[in-house]
Structure 1
Protein backbone atom coordinates (compact mmCIF):
# COMPACT_ATOMS: atom_id res chain seq x y z
CA UNK A 1 0.00 0.00 0.00
CA UNK A 2 1.21 3.48 -0.83
CA UNK A 3 0.81 5.85 2.11
CA UNK A 4 0.73 9.52 1.18
CA UNK A 5 0.49 12.73 3.16
CA UNK A 6 -1.49 15.80 2.21
CA UNK A 7 -2.29 19.15 3.76
CA UNK A 8 -5.61 19.25 1.89
CA UNK A 9 -8.98 19.41 3.58
CA UNK A 10 -10.17 15.78 3.71
CA UNK A 11 -13.56 16.79 2.32
CA UNK A 12 -11.92 17.84 -0.96
CA UNK A 13 -9.78 14.76 -1.61
CA UNK A 14 -11.14 12.31 -4.22
CA UNK A 15 -11.06 8.71 -2.95
CA UNK A 16 -13.20 5.60 -3.00
CA UNK A 17 -13.81 6.16 0.71
CA UNK A 18 -13.16 8.91 3.21
CA UNK A 19 -12.49 7.80 6.77
CA UNK A 20 -14.28 9.90 9.38
CA UNK A 21 -13.11 10.28 12.97
CA UNK A 22 -16.59 10.02 14.49
CA UNK A 23 -18.16 10.25 17.93
CA UNK A 24 -19.63 6.95 19.16
CA UNK A 25 -23.17 8.32 18.80
CA UNK A 26 -22.58 8.81 15.04
CA UNK A 27 -24.52 12.06 14.93
CA UNK A 28 -21.91 14.48 13.65
CA UNK A 29 -19.88 16.81 15.78
CA UNK A 30 -16.83 19.03 15.60
CA UNK A 31 -13.47 18.74 13.89
CA UNK A 32 -13.19 16.28 11.01
CA UNK A 33 -16.58 14.76 11.85
CA UNK A 34 -18.37 18.10 11.58
CA UNK A 35 -16.53 19.03 8.38
CA UNK A 36 -17.48 15.73 6.73
CA UNK A 37 -21.13 16.12 7.70
CA UNK A 38 -21.26 19.75 6.50
CA UNK A 39 -19.58 19.01 3.17
CA UNK A 40 -21.35 15.70 2.58
CA UNK A 41 -24.83 17.02 3.29
CA UNK A 42 -27.80 15.53 5.14
CA UNK A 43 -27.74 12.12 3.43
CA UNK A 44 -24.87 10.97 5.65
CA UNK A 45 -26.62 11.77 8.93
CA UNK A 46 -29.92 10.37 7.68
CA UNK A 47 -28.25 7.05 6.85
CA UNK A 48 -26.42 6.95 10.19
CA UNK A 49 -29.68 7.49 12.09
CA UNK A 50 -31.47 4.81 10.07
CA UNK A 51 -28.75 2.14 10.06
CA UNK A 52 -27.02 2.78 13.40
CA UNK A 53 -29.64 4.14 15.83
CA UNK A 54 -27.48 3.21 18.84
CA UNK A 55 -24.16 4.41 17.40
CA UNK A 56 -21.11 2.12 17.50
CA UNK A 57 -18.44 1.38 20.13
CA UNK A 58 -14.94 2.83 20.30
CA UNK A 59 -12.54 1.07 17.94
CA UNK A 60 -15.23 -0.02 15.46
CA UNK A 61 -16.04 1.12 11.93
CA UNK A 62 -19.30 1.46 9.99
CA UNK A 63 -20.05 2.97 6.59
CA UNK A 64 -22.50 5.22 4.81
CA UNK A 65 -22.89 7.00 1.53
CA UNK A 66 -20.55 9.94 1.00
CA UNK A 67 -23.35 12.28 -0.01
CA UNK A 68 -21.85 15.31 -1.78
CA UNK A 69 -18.23 14.40 -0.97
CA UNK A 70 -15.78 13.40 -3.76
CA UNK A 71 -15.98 9.76 -2.66
CA UNK A 72 -18.41 6.87 -2.83
CA UNK A 73 -18.39 5.99 0.87
CA UNK A 74 -17.62 7.38 4.29
CA UNK A 75 -16.15 4.89 6.74
CA UNK A 76 -16.90 6.15 10.26
CA UNK A 77 -14.43 5.03 12.94
CA UNK A 78 -14.74 5.83 16.62
CA UNK A 79 -11.35 6.65 18.04
CA UNK A 80 -10.43 6.48 21.71
CA UNK A 81 -10.64 9.70 23.72
CA UNK A 82 -7.16 9.96 25.24
CA UNK A 83 -8.13 13.04 27.27
CA UNK A 84 -11.00 11.09 28.88
CA UNK A 85 -8.69 8.19 29.80
CA UNK A 86 -9.11 5.85 26.80
CA UNK A 87 -5.38 5.28 26.33
CA UNK A 88 -5.13 1.67 25.16
CA UNK A 89 -3.25 1.73 21.82
CA UNK A 90 -5.23 -1.35 20.75
CA UNK A 91 -8.37 0.83 20.51
CA UNK A 92 -6.65 3.18 18.07
CA UNK A 93 -5.14 0.28 16.08
CA UNK A 94 -8.61 -1.25 15.91
CA UNK A 95 -9.98 1.87 14.21
CA UNK A 96 -7.53 1.55 11.35
CA UNK A 97 -7.82 -2.26 11.05
CA UNK A 98 -11.60 -2.00 10.98
CA UNK A 99 -11.50 0.85 8.45
CA UNK A 100 -9.41 -1.37 6.15
CA UNK A 101 -11.76 -4.32 6.71
CA UNK A 102 -14.79 -2.21 5.76
CA UNK A 103 -12.91 -0.73 2.77
CA UNK A 104 -12.20 -4.27 1.55
CA UNK A 105 -15.85 -5.27 2.00
CA UNK A 106 -16.87 -2.23 -0.07
CA UNK A 107 -14.22 -2.78 -2.74
CA UNK A 108 -12.57 0.56 -1.96
CA UNK A 109 -8.93 0.73 -3.02
CA UNK A 110 -8.23 4.41 -2.27
CA UNK A 111 -8.76 6.03 1.12
CA UNK A 112 -8.47 9.55 2.52
CA UNK A 113 -7.89 9.44 6.28
CA UNK A 114 -7.57 11.86 9.19
CA UNK A 115 -5.29 11.45 12.19
CA UNK A 116 -7.87 9.58 14.26
CA UNK A 117 -8.00 10.69 17.92
CA UNK A 118 -5.11 13.17 17.50
CA UNK A 119 -7.33 16.26 17.49
CA UNK A 120 -9.83 17.10 20.21
CA UNK A 121 -9.49 13.58 21.68
CA UNK A 122 -5.92 14.45 22.64
CA UNK A 123 -3.90 11.41 21.54
CA UNK A 124 -0.24 12.54 21.34
CA UNK A 125 0.61 13.29 17.71
CA UNK A 126 3.73 11.15 17.28
CA UNK A 127 2.17 8.15 18.98
CA UNK A 128 -1.01 8.51 16.90
CA UNK A 129 1.05 8.70 13.71
CA UNK A 130 3.19 5.68 14.56
CA UNK A 131 0.15 3.58 15.45
CA UNK A 132 -1.70 4.62 12.27
CA UNK A 133 1.22 3.99 9.90
CA UNK A 134 2.28 0.72 11.56
CA UNK A 135 -1.30 -0.59 11.49
CA UNK A 136 -1.86 0.31 7.84
CA UNK A 137 1.44 -1.24 6.81
CA UNK A 138 0.85 -4.37 8.87
CA UNK A 139 -2.76 -5.13 7.95
CA UNK A 140 -3.46 -7.29 4.89
CA UNK A 141 -5.81 -5.34 2.60
CA UNK A 142 -6.76 -4.62 -0.99
CA UNK A 143 -6.44 -0.88 -0.36
CA UNK A 144 -3.70 0.33 -2.71
CA UNK A 145 -3.48 3.98 -1.68
CA UNK A 146 -4.07 5.68 1.67
CA UNK A 147 -3.68 9.44 1.95
CA UNK A 148 -3.57 11.05 5.38
CA UNK A 149 -5.06 14.55 5.24
CA UNK A 150 -3.24 16.57 7.88
CA UNK A 151 -4.06 20.26 7.98
CA UNK A 152 -2.28 20.85 11.31
CA UNK A 153 1.50 21.25 10.92
CA UNK A 154 2.21 19.23 14.10
CA UNK A 155 0.28 16.27 12.70
CA UNK A 156 1.88 16.52 9.26
CA UNK A 157 5.33 16.49 10.89
CA UNK A 158 4.44 13.50 13.09
CA UNK A 159 3.12 11.49 10.13
CA UNK A 160 6.10 12.48 7.98
CA UNK A 161 8.38 11.10 10.72
CA UNK A 162 6.31 7.92 11.08
CA UNK A 163 6.19 7.18 7.34
CA UNK A 164 9.94 7.85 6.94
CA UNK A 165 10.80 5.55 9.87
CA UNK A 166 9.33 2.50 8.17
CA UNK A 167 10.78 3.01 4.70
Structure 2
Protein backbone atom coordinates (compact mmCIF):
# COMPACT_ATOMS: atom_id res chain seq x y z
CA UNK A 1 0.00 0.00 0.00
CA UNK A 2 1.29 3.40 -0.97
CA UNK A 3 2.09 5.87 1.80
CA UNK A 4 0.41 9.27 1.29
CA UNK A 5 1.84 12.47 2.72
CA UNK A 6 1.00 16.13 2.36
CA UNK A 7 3.54 18.90 1.89
CA UNK A 8 2.85 22.61 1.71
CA UNK A 9 5.43 24.04 -0.62
CA UNK A 10 6.99 24.13 -4.04
CA UNK A 11 6.88 20.89 -6.03
CA UNK A 12 10.09 21.84 -7.86
CA UNK A 13 12.01 21.48 -4.59
CA UNK A 14 10.94 17.90 -3.86
CA UNK A 15 13.76 15.33 -3.86
CA UNK A 16 11.75 12.39 -5.22
CA UNK A 17 12.16 9.92 -8.04
CA UNK A 18 9.40 11.53 -10.11
CA UNK A 19 7.60 14.86 -10.04
CA UNK A 20 4.23 14.99 -11.79
CA UNK A 21 3.66 18.01 -13.98
CA UNK A 22 0.13 19.33 -14.50
CA UNK A 23 1.05 20.05 -18.11
CA UNK A 24 -0.85 21.55 -20.98
CA UNK A 25 -1.28 19.43 -24.08
CA UNK A 26 1.50 21.23 -25.98
CA UNK A 27 4.10 19.92 -23.48
CA UNK A 28 6.00 23.16 -24.12
CA UNK A 29 5.53 24.84 -20.76
CA UNK A 30 2.94 27.29 -19.54
CA UNK A 31 1.80 28.83 -16.29
CA UNK A 32 1.39 27.46 -12.78
CA UNK A 33 3.03 24.13 -11.99
CA UNK A 34 3.89 23.57 -15.65
CA UNK A 35 5.83 26.82 -15.96
CA UNK A 36 7.58 26.33 -12.62
CA UNK A 37 8.75 22.83 -13.60
CA UNK A 38 10.05 23.99 -16.97
CA UNK A 39 11.82 27.01 -15.43
CA UNK A 40 13.30 24.99 -12.56
CA UNK A 41 14.31 21.99 -14.64
CA UNK A 42 15.90 23.97 -17.44
CA UNK A 43 16.19 23.43 -21.17
CA UNK A 44 16.65 19.65 -20.99
CA UNK A 45 12.96 19.17 -20.17
CA UNK A 46 11.82 21.39 -23.02
CA UNK A 47 14.18 19.63 -25.42
CA UNK A 48 12.70 16.21 -24.58
CA UNK A 49 9.15 17.59 -24.72
CA UNK A 50 9.79 19.00 -28.19
CA UNK A 51 11.07 15.59 -29.31
CA UNK A 52 7.95 13.90 -27.90
CA UNK A 53 5.77 16.39 -29.80
CA UNK A 54 7.67 15.76 -33.03
CA UNK A 55 7.79 11.97 -32.74
CA UNK A 56 4.75 10.75 -30.76
CA UNK A 57 2.32 13.53 -29.93
CA UNK A 58 2.17 15.79 -32.97
CA UNK A 59 -1.33 16.94 -31.94
CA UNK A 60 -0.34 17.28 -28.27
CA UNK A 61 -0.60 14.96 -25.28
CA UNK A 62 -4.26 13.96 -24.81
CA UNK A 63 -6.10 14.71 -21.57
CA UNK A 64 -5.64 11.93 -19.01
CA UNK A 65 -2.48 10.55 -20.61
CA UNK A 66 1.03 10.70 -19.13
CA UNK A 67 4.57 10.67 -20.46
CA UNK A 68 8.00 11.02 -18.83
CA UNK A 69 11.06 13.15 -19.46
CA UNK A 70 14.23 13.94 -17.60
CA UNK A 71 13.88 16.28 -14.64
CA UNK A 72 16.82 18.37 -15.79
CA UNK A 73 18.06 20.49 -12.89
CA UNK A 74 15.23 19.55 -10.52
CA UNK A 75 16.14 17.37 -7.51
CA UNK A 76 13.93 14.61 -8.97
CA UNK A 77 15.06 12.03 -11.53
CA UNK A 78 12.09 12.33 -13.88
CA UNK A 79 9.10 14.51 -14.68
CA UNK A 80 5.86 12.73 -15.51
CA UNK A 81 3.74 15.09 -17.59
CA UNK A 82 -0.04 14.67 -17.54
CA UNK A 83 -2.80 16.83 -18.97
CA UNK A 84 -5.71 17.38 -16.64
CA UNK A 85 -9.23 18.16 -17.74
CA UNK A 86 -10.76 21.61 -17.63
CA UNK A 87 -13.61 21.54 -15.11
CA UNK A 88 -17.12 21.85 -16.51
CA UNK A 89 -20.43 22.58 -14.81
CA UNK A 90 -22.31 20.68 -17.52
CA UNK A 91 -20.11 17.64 -18.22
CA UNK A 92 -18.65 15.14 -15.75
CA UNK A 93 -14.95 14.92 -16.58
CA UNK A 94 -13.87 13.17 -13.39
CA UNK A 95 -12.88 10.02 -15.32
CA UNK A 96 -10.26 12.13 -17.10
CA UNK A 97 -8.93 13.47 -13.79
CA UNK A 98 -8.81 9.95 -12.34
CA UNK A 99 -6.89 8.87 -15.47
CA UNK A 100 -4.26 11.55 -14.84
CA UNK A 101 -3.38 10.04 -11.45
CA UNK A 102 -3.59 6.42 -12.63
CA UNK A 103 -1.56 7.01 -15.79
CA UNK A 104 1.06 9.01 -13.90
CA UNK A 105 1.49 6.12 -11.46
CA UNK A 106 1.64 3.64 -14.36
CA UNK A 107 4.44 5.67 -15.97
CA UNK A 108 6.19 5.97 -12.59
CA UNK A 109 6.03 2.18 -12.26
CA UNK A 110 7.56 1.77 -15.74
CA UNK A 111 10.40 4.07 -14.67
CA UNK A 112 10.96 2.19 -11.41
CA UNK A 113 10.09 5.26 -9.33
CA UNK A 114 9.41 4.62 -5.65
CA UNK A 115 8.65 8.20 -4.58
CA UNK A 116 6.35 10.51 -6.53
CA UNK A 117 5.26 14.10 -5.91
CA UNK A 118 1.87 15.20 -7.29
CA UNK A 119 0.38 18.67 -7.53
CA UNK A 120 -3.38 19.20 -7.26
CA UNK A 121 -4.02 18.48 -10.95
CA UNK A 122 -6.61 20.69 -12.70
CA UNK A 123 -7.43 22.74 -9.58
CA UNK A 124 -5.63 25.89 -10.72
CA UNK A 125 -6.30 27.61 -14.02
CA UNK A 126 -8.39 24.62 -15.20
CA UNK A 127 -10.93 25.50 -12.51
CA UNK A 128 -11.56 22.14 -10.84
CA UNK A 129 -13.06 22.73 -7.35
CA UNK A 130 -10.29 22.01 -4.85
CA UNK A 131 -12.41 19.89 -2.48
CA UNK A 132 -13.52 17.59 -5.29
CA UNK A 133 -10.05 17.53 -6.85
CA UNK A 134 -8.56 16.52 -3.50
CA UNK A 135 -11.19 13.79 -3.01
CA UNK A 136 -10.48 12.36 -6.47
CA UNK A 137 -6.71 12.55 -6.06
CA UNK A 138 -6.58 10.91 -2.64
CA UNK A 139 -9.19 8.28 -3.54
CA UNK A 140 -7.50 7.35 -6.81
CA UNK A 141 -3.98 7.12 -5.41
CA UNK A 142 -5.16 5.25 -2.29
CA UNK A 143 -6.84 2.60 -4.44
CA UNK A 144 -4.02 2.29 -6.98
CA UNK A 145 -2.10 -0.91 -7.49
CA UNK A 146 1.44 0.38 -7.82
CA UNK A 147 5.03 -0.30 -6.83
CA UNK A 148 5.37 3.36 -5.80
CA UNK A 149 5.99 3.41 -2.07
CA UNK A 150 5.36 7.07 -1.26
CA UNK A 151 3.17 9.70 -2.87
CA UNK A 152 3.54 13.28 -1.72
CA UNK A 153 0.79 15.71 -2.57
CA UNK A 154 2.67 19.00 -2.76
CA UNK A 155 0.25 21.84 -2.29
CA UNK A 156 0.98 25.46 -3.00
CA UNK A 157 -1.35 27.17 -0.52
CA UNK A 158 -3.24 26.62 2.73
CA UNK A 159 -6.61 26.20 1.01
CA UNK A 160 -5.37 23.29 -1.10
CA UNK A 161 -3.52 21.80 1.88
CA UNK A 162 -6.68 21.92 4.03
CA UNK A 163 -8.77 20.29 1.28
CA UNK A 164 -6.26 17.45 0.88
CA UNK A 165 -5.94 17.07 4.64
CA UNK A 166 -9.72 16.61 4.90
CA UNK A 167 -9.77 14.11 2.01
CA UNK A 168 -6.89 12.14 3.48
CA UNK A 169 -8.54 12.03 6.91
CA UNK A 170 -11.84 10.93 5.35
CA UNK A 171 -10.07 8.18 3.36
CA UNK A 172 -8.32 6.89 6.50
CA UNK A 173 -11.58 6.91 8.48
CA UNK A 174 -13.27 4.62 5.95
TM-score normalised to structure 1 length: 0.97
Partner of 1:164 in structure 2? Answer: 169
Q: Secondary structure at the match of 1:3?
A: strand
Q: Secondary structure at the match of 1:82?
A: coil
Alignment CA distance shift 1:74-1:85 (3 Å): farther
Q: Which moved further from structure 2: 77-86 or 119-128?
A: 77-86
Segments of structure 1 that go 5 or more residues without pairing to the other structure are: none
Question: 1:49-106 CA deviation, whole Å, 9 max, x = no partner?
Answer: 0123322100000010000000110000000011597641000000000000000000
Alignment CA distance shift 1:50-1:139 (3 Å): same
Question: 1:92-135 CA deviation, whole Å, 9 max, x = no partner?
Answer: 00000000000000000100110000011000001000000110
Alignment CA distance shift 1:85-1:68 (3 Å): farther
Given that 2:15 and 2:75 are in contact with CA atoms closer than 8 Å, whether structure 1 keeps it comes out as yes
Partner of 2:147 in structure 1? Answer: 142
CA distance in 2, matches of 1:146, 1:162: 15
CA distance in 1, matches of 2:52, 2:94: 28
Given that 1:22 and 1:33 are in contact with CA atoms closer than 8 Å, whether structure 2 keeps it comes out as yes
TM-score normalised to structure 2 length: 0.93
Given that 1:44 and 1:67 are in contact with CA atoms closer than 8 Å, whether structure 2 keeps it comes out as yes
Confirm whether residue 107 of structure 1 aligns to residue 115 of structure 2.
no
Q: Which moved further from structure 2: 74-83 or 49-58?
A: 49-58
CA distance in 2, matches of 1:66, 1:148: 18
CA distance in 2, matches of 1:84, 1:34: 27
Aligned length: 167
Q: CA RMSD in A?
A: 1.3
CA distance in 1, matches of 2:141, 2:105: 8
